Amino acid sequence: MAEALTGQKRTPVPFDGVVDVDWLVRLRWLAFLALGILVLLGPQLAPLALPLVPLLTISLALAGSNAVLALYAHRRRLTATGIGSVLILDILLLTAALYWTGGPSNPFSVLFLVHVALAAVVLGAGWTWALALLATACFTLLFRFHVQAPLLGHHNHSMDGNGGFSLHLQGMLFAFAIAAFLIAFFVTRVRARMIEQELKLRSLEAARLNEERLASLATLSAGAAHELGSPLATIAVCSAELSALATELGSESSDLQEY
């Protein structure tokens, strides 16, 4: 109705959901920073001999892919397929990092859950189940294929028995805290984004309804004007005819008086 009056076709506003990669870029830079700290300060934080070359390679791969993602995000919006592909890459990079640092015994294996949680919030059910299966498969393979990070020489005796188990528990606590923080922070951010988009859609819907109401009022006004205009036009025509007839009769009367 509004389109007929305005002559313009209204294009529906697409709902872009939360497919905004700024949060994902920040998350991946944070992961790169954490991995860099682990590579540089790992031997000081824990008595482990970490393989620096593989971990540095993984860090550079993460940084390079994130730089490409950031550049791409500034030019165009990323689809759900793109987001899912990035999360697949992150799961594979995490698997590679865990492979070189103890496999399933590494407490940071809990970070697999972060990717699944993000997929559950951002992507559809299909992508979520696919990423959950991929994370489970990668974690399962780590039980069979991994490189155990050796203890540093001067800690070999002190970390035997309960000492090694205590170190693992401390690592699990630290990894759990990081995973809980990441899930809470980014899920709440994504949820806030969803609420913002929902409010925007409601505002657009309200504006559309107001536009349709105004168009309906305009149509009713035009119809009323037409209904009122038709009798008035008839009266005007009849008045003109009567006036012409009166003039004609007046001239005939004058002619008769002359005779």
Q: What share of the chain is helix, strand, coil (3-state, %, to 5)?
A: 80, 0, 15
Q: What is the pLDDT of residue 60?
A: 93
The band of 211, judged by pLDDT with boundaries at 50, 70 and 90, is confident
Segment 109-134, tens digit of pLDDT: 888 888 888 888 888 788 888 998 99
What residues pair up with 151 in beta bridges, in sequence order?
Answer: 48
Cα dist from 161 to 3, 44, 107, 151, whole Å: 78, 21, 18, 13
**pLDDT tens-digit map of 174-189:** 776 777 677 777 777 7
The answer to whether residue 236 is domain-embedded is no
Predicted pLDDT at 2: 40
Evaluate whether residue 210 is within a structural domain: no
Range of the structural domain that residue 184 is part of:
22-205
The answer to whether 32 and 62 are in contact (CB under 8 A) is yes
What is the band of 99 on the pLDDT scale with cuts at 50, 70, 90? Answer: very high
Comparing CA positions, the residue from 28, 33, 12, 220 lying closest to residue 118 is 28
Distance CA 123, CA 167 (A): 36
For residue 151, the SS3 value is strand
C-alpha 166/C-alpha 182 separation (Å) is: 24
Q: What is the pLDDT of residue 66?
A: 93
In a domain, 147, yes or no: yes
When divided into structural domains, the chain yields a total of 1
Average pLDDT of 66-90? 87
For residue 250, what are the contacts with CB-CB under 8 A and spacing of at least 6? none
Return the structure tokens found at 249. 């009769």
User: Is residue 8 assigned to a domain?
Assistant: no
pLDDT digits (tens, 9 = 90+) for 154-167: 444 444 444 555 66
Q: Alpha-carbon distance 54 to 235, whole Å?
A: 97
Instruction: Express each pLDDT in 16-71 by its tens digit.
Output: 444 567 778 888 898 888 888 877 776 665 556 678 888 889 999 999 999 999 88
Residue 92 falls within a domain, yes or no?
Answer: yes
What pTM did the predictor assign? 0.60
Statement: residue 152 has pLDDT above 60: no
Confidence of residue 202 (pLDDT cuts 50, 70, 90): confident
67, part of any domain = yes
234 within a domain of the structure (yes/no): no
When pLDDT is cut at 50, 70 and 90, the band that residue 14 belongs to is very low
Q: Is 253 within a domain?
A: no
